[in-house]
Amino acid sequence: MKNILEAPFLVEMVRTTTNMYAHGWDERNGGNISVLLDEGDVAEYVDVNAVIRDIPTGFEAPALEGKYFLVTGTGKYFKNVQYDPARNLGLVRLTNGGKTAQLLWGFTDGGRFTSEFPAHMMSHAARLSVNPDNRVVMHCHPANLLAMTYVHDLDERAFTRTLWQMCTECIVVFPEGVNVLPWMLCGTNEIGEATAEKMKTARLVVWAQHGIYGAGADLDETFGLIETAEKAAEIYMKIAHLPLKNTISDNQLRQLETHFGVKAREGWVD
C-alpha cells in the first residue's frame, strides 16, 4: 500500500487549503472542500474494505451510492491542514443511499466531515447530472464577493453582468454566469437543496452575506473560478461609488464570445 500522504489528490488538497487560507478566503474554520475520487486511485493508498467507523450524514443521495470523497473536517482550520492532514481531512465512501459515510482514512481525533457536507453532496449530484466530469465542490468566504451582496442587486443576471463588465476574462471563465441565493441558514439540508438546484445551471453560486460555492473538474479549475469572480468583485467594490466613464459593452462581450468560442447564458447579453 502506498503512502497516502504522497497521493496526488492529497498533496493537491493540502496545497489548495493552504493557498485559500493565505488568500483570506477561509478565516478560522470557515470554508470547506470535497473532492470526488475514483476507487482505483483510493485503493492504491487505503484498504477500501477496512472501515474505521460509520458516520450518519443526515440526508439521502442515492446518485452518490458507493462514491469516494476526500473532505475537510468540521471545526478545522485550513491553515492547519498542511501540518496534520490526517486530523483535518477525511476520506469517506457513501453507502446506504447516501445516509451513511464510511470513514476509510483521516479524522484521527474522532472528528467528522464539514457541517456543509449535505450541501456539498447535493451539489456534487447536481453537477454530475449535467457534467459527468465534475469532481470538486468548494465553499469559501471571499471578502469582496461577500461585500458585493450588501450593496448590489441580487438579481442573478444583473449580478453576473456586473462581474462580466469588471474584467475582460470573466465571460470567458464563467460564461454561464453566477447564480445567487438570498441569505439562508447554513449547515442545513434546505440550503443544500437550494444550492444544488442552482448548481444545475452554473458552477458558481453566491450565498448572500456569507460566501460562495464553486464546482469544477479539479481543484485548480474550481479555485480559478472563484479567484476570477472575486477579482471582479474587488474591482467593483473599488469603483462602485465613483462616476463610471467606461465599461465593457455588450458588443465587446459578444466579441469575446466569438473570439474565445464560449457562449454566454441565453438572454444575459443584450
The full 3-state SS of the chain, as one line of letters, equals CCCHHHCHHHHHHHHHHHHHHHCCCCCCCCCEEEEEECHHHHHCCCCCCCCCEEEECCCCCHHHCCCEEEEEECCCCHHHHCCCHHHHEEEEEEEHHHCEEEEEEECCCCCCECCCHHHHHHHHHHHHHHCCCCCEEEEECCHHHHHHHHHCCCCHHHHHHHHHHHCCCHHHHCCCCCEEECCCCCCCHHHHHHHHHHHCCCCEEEECCCEEEEEECCHHHHHHHHHHHHHHHHHHHHHCCCCCCCCCCHHHHHHHHHHHCCCCCCCCCC
Q: Is the pLDDT of residue 187 over 90?
A: no
The span from the CA of 30 to the CA of 11, in Å, is: 21
Sorting pLDDT into bands at 50, 70 and 90, what band is 101?
Answer: very high
Cell 441580487 belongs to: 154
Name the CATH code of domain 1-114 (choices 3.30.1490.20, 3.30.830.10, 3.40.225.10, 4.10.520.10).
Answer: 3.40.225.10
Q: Is the pLDDT of residue 1 over 90?
A: no
Q: What is the pLDDT of residues 224-259, one digit of tens each?
A: 999 999 999 999 999 999 999 999 999 999 999 999
Residue 257, CA distances (Å) to 21, 169, 269 in order: 33, 11, 10
Domain boundaries, the chain: 1-114, 116-270
On the question of a common fold for 1-114 and 116-270, the answer reads yes
pTM, full prediction: 0.95
pLDDT of 226 reads 98
Enter the C-alpha cell of residue 178: 453566477
pLDDT of 176 reads 98
- Give the mean model confidence (pLDDT) for residues 202-225: 98
Share of the chain above pLDDT 90, in %: 97
Catalytic (active site) residue 116: yes
Share of the chain above pLDDT 70, in %: 100
Under CATH, what is the fold of the domain 116-270? L-fuculose-1-phosphate Aldolase (3.40.225)
The span from the CA of 217 to the CA of 62, in Å, is: 21
Catalytic residue among 12, 27, 65, 116: 116
Q: What is the pLDDT of residues 22-55, one digit of tens each?
A: 999 999 999 999 999 999 999 999 999 999 999 9
Q: What is the pLDDT of residues 53-91, one digit of tens each?
A: 999 998 888 999 999 999 999 999 999 999 999 999 999
Q: Which residue has the higher pLDDT, 61 or 7?
A: 7
pLDDT of 221 reads 97
100-106 vs 32-37, strand pairing mode:
unpaired
On average, the pLDDT of the chain sits at: 96
Q: Could you tell me if 219 and 12 are in contact, meaning their C-beta atoms sit under 8 angstroms apart?
A: yes
- Give the mean model confidence (pLDDT) for residues 169-188: 96
pLDDT of 53 reads 96
Residue 83, CA distances (Å) to 9, 33, 106 in order: 16, 17, 13
